[in-house]
Amino acid sequence: MTILGEGKNPGREHMLQLARKAGISKREAGSIIDEVLAAVRRWKKFADRAHLSSASARQIEASFPDLTK
């Protein structure tokens, strides 16, 4: 899957462009992205609560796109 031509590591700008194409304002899209980032930053807590092994948690975490760029 690609997002606006970026398949490996779509970033914030890709998501904002996609949102614009979908008719979502930049402000709303930015807010949604920030909400997702806040949840992703708490990933380790979620993984611990789900009793995932450290190796599984790291493997899943490695697949998260970098939405800070």
Which pLDDT tens digit goes with each residue over 2-58?
666 666 677 888 889 999 999 999 999 999 999 998 998 899 999 999 999 999 999
pLDDT at residue 69, rounded to an integer = 62
pLDDT at residue 10, rounded to an integer = 78
1 in a structural domain: no
Asked if pLDDT for residue 64 goes beyond 90, the answer is no
- 33 and 67 in contact (C-beta within 8 Å)? yes
Number of domains present in the structure of the chain:
1
41 in a structural domain: yes
Between CA 1 and CA 58 the distance in angstroms is: 22
pLDDT at residue 52, rounded to an integer = 94
3 in a structural domain: no
49 in a structural domain: yes
Which domain does 29 fall in, by range?
12-17+24-61
pTM (2 decimals)?
Answer: 0.70
